[in-house]
């Protein structure tokens, strides 16, 4: 219990809250059903594997949880919490805390009170898909367009999207822009309609990067509906909920009359009850359940797909679901089918989280220990509390001891390779009338190098490189990891980290976004100085004409005119860059595709600067001058040479912005 436990330093408490708040806006948008995967834990070690015999008794676990959750109810203004844990095929502990409706003072009862479980719904979708795979009606690696009749997913890439891609968040979709959480059933549209009209753009090759996708899972649920011939909610009811005796669980919106009286209210701040949330794409997050029903679901997954003699999946399908289907990095967590690993312990922990606006839930499984844990909070402020509850449980019963960190040789010389601004891959990439792509820059991480270590903005801790491209928190006090991924040209393109989870990559933006304000100002200042010089030379020329003096030598006039070309091309580059940055988020690898034919201007500018350098040499040497002396007076030569030097600086800045890289 971080807020009352002396073992946590004040600095550690602050870091926990900062990181949790950093991720909260990203995970709790009122229009989004997503998942929260942030965790803080102790560093990995050679701790012997924990056995289930070392776990507490139910009474001891209850004694451990009661003060933590009671304090959270008060400190986070949470109305109610429901909790369940299963072990060795049986219920270990089920308990409700606080109120299902704070205004009515209705208590939470674990086997009666229904909570919205958000994106944990996606685990049911995976079970449904695997059931149909077992029936040979679906195949995980077949083009999903083979299963779609009313609409098709565009063939943007040669590689087709498969169900395996959908269930691992690697289909390559950008974030859908339609509203996900609605306040009224009157706003609901048929699933087929919203999926057909709201197809997000495909922005990357399938199977390359993970980016959490509600649309992808809704599409998988729709394919279940189309293939089975049953309404989606009916299929889940018939094939999963009834066999598991999950009698207080439903995907229906609103709840059936027989269950509506059991539904917990979702609460806004100060315990004010909110509205019933309608999920516009039900397969992605419309499930409502009790802690007791979730115990049955966890027991089935931990018991090879069987509960009380009733089977929902074959053993091989359960193993497939819980195994690694997409690996982010060899040292980090991976993604299964509708579940993902939590890199928080020596134990293999896999599960899913779920967030609506008012409800915040998590389900984790420890298959090797035959343990499952579920908890859900019914208040807006429950997101951080939910995360910290699971952190407490893991640290108490499945801890990592601290460990001395040994950076790899030469790590100090490599740190700057990773500097940059990294933005979530779960975003909008294309121009949309209702979405500004640049708004997603607020969900980014700034990474800087400091004496060979990396510092992640907003967290305030340093990371040391212990293996090529793999970093851990440098003191060993916190178990935080970052793994950077390279492309075939050796460029760092994105990273994964355990304080966000494997379901979202963070892509490296173009150098223009990272500490470029000073460089941009410098470019503007240099261009203004060139403009002033051109105005000065032009004025002198007009005075010569007015006074009928002899014109300057041709080579002098040509030298000055060359700076006009410099100014034109430099200004064009600055304007193009400003327009591009104000409309899109440009990634480090996107220069050619983003600027297309406009990349000719940097090379024209380069040629123009080379010409001014030649003229500067002429001015000092008097090359081809009949009088064998410099073309200008000393002050004129210095003035011209300074402008040449400033133009060379511009080339350096444009080079740092990758204008000359392909």
Beta bridge partners of residue 279, listed in sequence order: 181
Inform me whether the pLDDT recorded for 31 exceeds 50: no
442-457 residue pLDDT tens: 778 999 999 899 999 8
Beta bridge partners of residue 253, listed in sequence order: none
More reliable by pLDDT, 502 or 27: 502
Peptide bond into 254 cis (omega under 30): yes
Q: How many residues does the chain have?
A: 662
Inform me whether the pLDDT recorded for 41 exceeds 50: no
At residue 591 the predicted structure's pLDDT band, cuts being 50, 70 and 90, is low
Dihedral sign, Cα of residue 236, residue 167, residue 27, residue 37: positive
518-565 residue pLDDT tens: 888 888 999 999 899 888 888 877 876 676 666 666 677 787 888 888
Q: Which residues make Cβ contacts (< 8 Å) with residue 543, sequence separation at least 6?
A: 549
- If you compute the radius of gyration of the chain from its CA atoms, what whole number of angstroms results? 30
pTM above 0.95, yes or no: no
* Alpha-carbon gap, residue 603 to 660, rounded angstroms: 8
What are the chain's domains? 10-38+60-397 (3.40.710.10), 411-508 (2.40.128), 516-656 (no CATH)
* Alpha-carbon gap, residue 655 to 109, rounded angstroms: 63
* Alpha-carbon gap, residue 515 to 653, rounded angstroms: 12
* Alpha-carbon gap, residue 508 to 485, rounded angstroms: 10
User: What's the whole-number mean pLDDT along residues 300-321?
Assistant: 96
pLDDT of residue 49: 41
Helix (H) or strand (E) run with residue 62 in it? helix 58-75
142-174 residue pLDDT tens: 999 999 999 999 999 999 999 999 999 999 999
More reliable by pLDDT, 286 or 598: 286
* Alpha-carbon gap, residue 323 to 106, rounded angstroms: 41
More reliable by pLDDT, 624 or 520: 520
pLDDT of residue 54: 67
Beta bridge partners of residue 495, listed in sequence order: 484, 506
User: Percentage of residues in the chain with pLDDT exceeding 90?
Assistant: 58
Triad 385, 349, 215: Cα angle to 5°: 75
* Alpha-carbon gap, residue 187 to 189, rounded angstroms: 7
Q: Which contacts (CB < 8 Å, 24+ apart) does range 628-635 have?
A: 631/553, 631/555, 631/556, 631/559, 632/556
């Amino acid at each position: 219990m971080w807020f009352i436990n002396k073992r946590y330093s004040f600095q550690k408490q602050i870091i926990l809250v900062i990181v949790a708040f950093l991720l909260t806006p990203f995970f709790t948008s009122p229009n989004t059903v997503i998942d929260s995967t942030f965790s803080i834990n102790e560093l990995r070690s050679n701790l012997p594997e924990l056995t289930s015999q070392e776990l507490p008794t139910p009474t001891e676990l209850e004694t451990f949880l009661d003060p933590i959750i009671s304090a959270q109810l008060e400190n986070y203004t949470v109305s109610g919490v429901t909790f369940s844990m299963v072990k060795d095929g049986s219920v270990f502990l089920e308990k409700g805390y606080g109120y299902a409706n704070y205004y009515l003072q209705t208590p939470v009862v674990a086997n009666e009170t229904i909570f919205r479980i958000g994106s944990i719904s996606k685990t049911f979708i995976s079970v449904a898909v695997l059931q149909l795979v077992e029936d040979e009606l679906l195949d995980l690696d077949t083009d999903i367009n083979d299963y779609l009749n009313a609409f098709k997913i565009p063939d943007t890439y040669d590689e087709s999207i498969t169900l395996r891609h959908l269930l691992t968040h690697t289909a390559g979709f950008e974030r859908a822009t339609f509203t996900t959480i609605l306040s009224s059933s009157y706003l609901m549209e048929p699933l087929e309609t919203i999926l057909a009209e709201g197809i997000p753009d495909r922005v990357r090759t399938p199977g390359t990067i993970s980016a959490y996708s509600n649309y992808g899972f809704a599409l998988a649920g729709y394919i279940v509906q189309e293939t089975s011939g049953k309404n989606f909610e009916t299929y889940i009811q018939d094939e999963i909920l009834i066999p598991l005796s999950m009698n207080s669980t439903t995907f229906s919106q609103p709840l059936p009359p027989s269950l509506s009286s059991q539904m917990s209210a979702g609460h806004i701040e100060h315990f004010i009850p909110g509205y019933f949330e309608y999920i516009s794409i039900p397969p992605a997050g419309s499930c409502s359940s009790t802690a007791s029903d979730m115990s049955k679901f966890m027991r089935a997954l931990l018991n090879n797909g069987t509960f009380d003699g009733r089977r929902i999946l074959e053993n091989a399908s359960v193993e497939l679901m819980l195994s690694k289907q997409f690996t982010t990095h060899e040292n980090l967590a991976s993604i299964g089918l509708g579940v993902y690993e939590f890199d928080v312990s020596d134990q293999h922990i896999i599960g899913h989280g779920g967030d609506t606006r008012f409800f915040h839930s998590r389900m984790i499984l420890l298959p090797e220990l035959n343990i499952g844990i579920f908890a859900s909070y019914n208040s807006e402020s429950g997101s951080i509390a939910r995360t910290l509850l699971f952190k407490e449980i893991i640290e108490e019963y499945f801890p990592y001891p601290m460990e001395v960190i040994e950076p790899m040789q030469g790590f100090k010389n490599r740190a700057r390779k990773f500097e940059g601004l990294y933005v979530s891959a779960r975003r909008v990439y294309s121009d949309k009338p209702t979405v500004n792509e640049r708004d997603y820059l607020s969900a980014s991480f700034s990474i800087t190098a400091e004496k060979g270590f990396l510092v992640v903005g907003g967290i305030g801790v340093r990371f040391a490189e212990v293996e090529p491209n793999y970093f851990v928190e440098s003191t060993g006090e916190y178990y935080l990891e970052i793994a950077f991924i390279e492309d075939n040209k050796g460029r760092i393109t994105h990273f994964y980290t355990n304080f966000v989870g494997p379901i979202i990559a963070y892509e490296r933006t173009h150098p223009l976004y990272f500490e470029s304000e000073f460089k941009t100002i410098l470019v503007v200042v240099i261009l203004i100085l060139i403009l002033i010089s051109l105005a000065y030379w032009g004025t002198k020329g007009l005075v010569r004409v007015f006074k009928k003096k002899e014109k300057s030598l041709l080579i002098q006039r040509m030298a000055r005119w060359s700076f006009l070309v410099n100014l034109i091309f430099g200004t064009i580059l600055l304007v193009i860059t400003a327009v591009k940055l104000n409309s899109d988020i440009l990634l480090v690898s996107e220069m050619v595709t983003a600027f297309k034919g406009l990349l000719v201007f940097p090379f024209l500018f380069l040629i123009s600067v080379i010409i001014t350098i030649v003229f500067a040499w002429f001015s000092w040497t008097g090359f081809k001058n009949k009088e064998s002396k410099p073309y200008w007076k000393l002050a004129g030569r210095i003035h011209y040479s300074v402008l040449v030097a400033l133009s060379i600086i511009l080339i350096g800045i444009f080079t740092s912005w990758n204008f000359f890289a392909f």
